[in-house]
């Protein structure tokens, strides 16, 4: 781990995000600007590092850029600190992530996000829809800002990758919402959904990061697949923690995913198995006082073991692709550190 490089990157990311969002800091839209700075965790009740989130996506983008940097192919663009030129792309991805969170919270009727009231609760759903839209527009402006440092062809490619993955994000969101009404879900329904909801944006990080590092095509593809499988592994782990996680560590009440009726991997495994858990699940919402019994039943039916096996398999794939990509230098070490942190987390 190289805390200094990561720290420099995180500071640059925050600065760039603020610069991008300042586009709304104009006479008649001060309150609009405030809504965005509140959501980003910089202002209002509870502002601070807990409210901003970990900025994993933009960090992953910059680490990829720095660890894949190919001086020979860069045509003299950039140098040791080449990742500084990629900051607007890193910000773009974080803005896309945040646009999706703002709209998600309306769609899921969620009142809290990182312990703070959500935008729609504070300012109403119509304003919150517009806040999400603005974050999306600014994300697109941020990716186009690459033109300051990169050839236009590279900018068009980066914007294309970003939007392709955004479309996958909306497809994943559609699947997730449409599953709520379906009674016939099985394991085949899981991977395309999280491929869109979680992996698309993580693969955009590593794909765009490597593009901006002037990586060759083979490395570009290896980085892209690393991000994709990192996303799948991350999400499966999240699903496991959402049912069997230690609530003192995760900060969420245990088995909250069961109470919320989330179609996670262990649940879909058991639905396909169609035994005791499936029967109970289809009867209606799980109550808080049933959690111990229902999660034990789920484990008994093999859902936990299956999910853990899947998480391991995806982790292995992710690390294989990372090895293929061959990240180098200080950033390469930091990259491995971040990947291990994400893949072996307990929270």
Q: Which residues bind a copy of itself (CB under 8 A)?
A: 23-24, 26, 28-29, 31-32, 103, 106-108, 125-127, 129-130, 132-134, 136-138, 140-141, 144, 147, 151-153, 155-156, 159-160, 163-164, 166-167, 170-171, 173-175, 177-178, 192
CA 120, 122, 128, 132: dihedral to nearest 10 degrees? -100
Count CB neighbours of 302 within 10 A: 15
Give the number of C-alpha atoms closer than 13 A to the C-alpha of residue 18, restricted to the C-beta side.
10
> What one-character-per-residue DSSP string does 148-199 give?
GTS-HHHHHHHHHHHHHHHHHHHHHHHHHHHHTT-S---GGGHHHHHIIIII
Distance between first and last Cα of the chain: 19
Least distance between a copy of itself and beta carbon 75 (Å): 15
**149-to-60, 143, 145, 290 alpha-carbon distances in Å:** 20, 11, 8, 57
123: alpha, beta or left? (left if phi > 0; alpha if psi -120 to 50) = alpha
Closer residue to a copy of itself in complex, CB, 178/216: 178
- Which lies closer to a copy of itself via its Cβ, residue 26 or residue 340? 26
Instruction: Write down the least CB distance from residue 96 to a copy of itself, Å.
Output: 10
Query: Per DSSP, what are the bridge partners of residue 116?
Result: 113
Closest contact distance (angstroms) between CB of 225 and a copy of itself is 21
Q: How far is the CB of 46 from a copy of itself (least distance, A)?
A: 24
CB of 84 to a copy of itself, least distance (A): 20
- Decide whether 156 or 187 has the Cβ nearer to a copy of itself: 156
Judged by CB, which is closer to a copy of itself: 265, or 294?
265
Minimum separation from the CB atom of position 30 to a copy of itself (A): 10
Distance set, CA 265 to CA 37, 197, 251, 255, 269 (Å): 34, 14, 21, 13, 6
């Amino acid at each position: 781990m190289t805390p200094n490089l990561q720290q420099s990157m995180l500071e640059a990311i925050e600065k760039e995000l603020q610069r991008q969002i300042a586009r709304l800091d104009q006479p008649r839209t001060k309150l609009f600007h405030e809504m965005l700075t509140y959501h980003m965790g910089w202002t209002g009740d509870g502002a601070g590092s807990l409210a901003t989130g970990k900025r994993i996506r933009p960090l992953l983008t910059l680490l990829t850029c720095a660890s894949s940097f190919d001086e020979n192919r860069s045509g003299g663009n950039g140098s040791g600190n080449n990742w500084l030129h990629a900051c607007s792309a890193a910000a773009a991805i974080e803005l896309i992530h945040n646009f999706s969170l703002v709209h998600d919270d309306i769609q899921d009727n969620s009142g809290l996000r990182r312990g703070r009231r959500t935008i729609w609760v504070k300012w109403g759903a119509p304003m919150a829809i517009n806040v999400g839209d603005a974050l999306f527009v600014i994300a697109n402006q941020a990716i186009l800002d690459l033109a300051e440092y990169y050839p236009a062809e590279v900018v068009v490619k980066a914007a294309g990758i970003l939007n392709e993955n955004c479309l996958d994000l909306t497809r994943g969101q559609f699947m997730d919402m449409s599953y709520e009404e379906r009674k016939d879900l099985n394991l085949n329904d899981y991977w395309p959904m999280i491929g869109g909801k979680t992996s698309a944006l993580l693969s955009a990080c590593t794909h765009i990061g490597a593009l901006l590092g002037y990586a060759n095509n083979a490395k570009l593809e290896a980085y892209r697949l690393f991000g994709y499988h990192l996303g799948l592994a991350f999400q499966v782990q999240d699903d496991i923690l959402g049912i069997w996680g230690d609530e003192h560590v995760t900060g969420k009440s245990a088995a909250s995913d069961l109470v919320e009726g989330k179609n996670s991997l262990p649940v879909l495994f058991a639905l396909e198995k169609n035994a005791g858990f499936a029967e109970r699940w289809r009867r209606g919402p799980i109550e808080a006082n049933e959690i111990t019994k229902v999660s034990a039943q789920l484990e008994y039916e093999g859902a936990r073991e299956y999910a853990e096996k899947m998480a391991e398999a995806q982790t292995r794939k992710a690390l294989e692709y990372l090895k293929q990509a061959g990240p180098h230098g200080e950033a390469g070490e930091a990259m491995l550190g971040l990947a291990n942190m994400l893949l072996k987390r307990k929270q």
